[in-house]
Amino acid sequence: MKLGWLMIVMMLLSFPVHSDAEVADRIVVIVNDEVITLRELNVTIDTFVKKIEKNYPGVPREKIREEVTMPILNNTIEETLLKQEAKRLGITVKDEEVTTTINDILAKRKWKLEDVKANLDKEGVSFDEYREMTRNNIIKGRVIRREIQSKIAVGNEEIGNYYREHRSEYEGKETARLRQILIPVPENADADTRGKMKAEAEDVLKKLKGGVPFEQLTLQYSRGAAQSTGGDMGYVEKGTMLPAVDEVAFKLKVGETSDVIETPLGFHIIQVLDKRGGGAKPLSAVRDEIEDIIGREKAEKKYADWMAELRKRSYIDIRLK
């Protein structure tokens, strides 16, 4: 059973923080025996604010900061708690494990190391920081497997009930599981504005082809409901999307990524994760998929409960004013 959604969330919370502060302005949060400084928090907030300002010119900077500050602060607290829990459990990751993980990613996606480094450099992230982010993701994944995944079970009766209740989803519909990066264009935008947004979308596609993870680019550039899930739109039925997107989505093969697609809404980049053809599928053919769906639903609730309990038994003093 997989916990893909959870790993995506963890990756999004692992944005590298460039801490060049010699002296912190002041402490804004104490998490058990660790502190988060105002300077550290501002570096992370500024990274997000710049991306949002780029996509939504004209939105007041202070309004953006006001909206993102508390979500980012809470993410930072949870990130710190997860690292502390890993330390308590004695979970560590050796340098060679990090190297192996990165090499596996490069091989699987057919990326070249020099291209990845070049794209990281453009994003203002050093390769050492990328390695550390990878190490943190591995550590957090192990904490999650130990504290959550190992305690989740999906029974045959649950699988059978789900199949009966959702049978229509496995019959006669051509669907595709997609993820999307959407760069929307403001209403009544002039040709110049639209041209700039298209150029931004082309740049995002170039970064994607150069090795920057889809989920990372979704967080940085995409807008819409699927942003919080790494761009995952779930299974979409043919004929229910914008015609230009729909046409491309059902021509792509599983694993393929589109070029930039232009619609009245904006500019889209989509990737096909899976496809379901027409006709009914027997339970045996979709058993693993259903087990994964039920498992993810259980894991989401269990993770929320686990993190709430972890926060409850931890000393957290928020001094942000």
The C-alpha atoms of residue 284 and residue 19 are separated, in whole angstroms, by 52
Q: Which pLDDT score is estimated for 89?
A: 92
Q: Which pLDDT score is estimated for 40?
A: 87
* Tokens matching residue 177: 């599981």
Nearest Cα to Cα of residue 217 among 209, 98, 234: 209
The fraction of the chain above a pLDDT of 90, given in percent, is: 34
Please report, for the chain, the start and end positions of each structural domain, with discontinuous segments joined by +. Answer: 4-153+294-318, 172-276
- pTM check: above 0.85: no
Q: What is the mean pLDDT of residues 199-205?
A: 91
Q: Amino acid identity of 181?
A: I
Residues 28 and 36 sit within 8 Å (Cβ to Cβ): yes
pLDDT in tens, 136-167: 889 988 988 898 888 899 999 999 999 999 88
The C-alpha atoms of residue 290 and residue 279 are separated, in whole angstroms, by 17
* Tokens matching residue 189: 């935008």
Instruction: Please determine, looking at this structure, whether the domain spanning 4-153+294-318 carries the CATH number 3.40.1280.10.
Output: no
Nearest Cα to Cα of residue 73 among 313, 311, 312: 311
Nearest Cα to Cα of residue 28 among 298, 289, 321, 253: 321
Residues 225 and 180 sit within 8 Å (Cβ to Cβ): no
The C-alpha atoms of residue 234 and residue 231 are separated, in whole angstroms, by 9
pLDDT band at residue 224 using 50, 70 and 90 as cut-offs:
low
* Tokens matching residue 248: 């491309």
> What dotted CATH number matches 172-276?
3.10.50.40
Tokens 């000393």 belong to residue: 315
Q: Amino acid identity of 133?
A: M
pLDDT in tens, 61-104: 888 888 888 988 998 999 899 999 999 999 999 999 999 999 99
In sequence order, which ranges of the chain are alpha helices (DSSP H)?
4-12, 38-55, 61-88, 95-109, 113-122, 127-147, 156-165, 191-209, 214-221, 243-249, 283-312
pLDDT in tens, 26-36: 999 999 999 99
pLDDT band at residue 8 using 50, 70 and 90 as cut-offs:
very low
| Strand 27-31 relative to strand 34-37, pairing | antiparallel
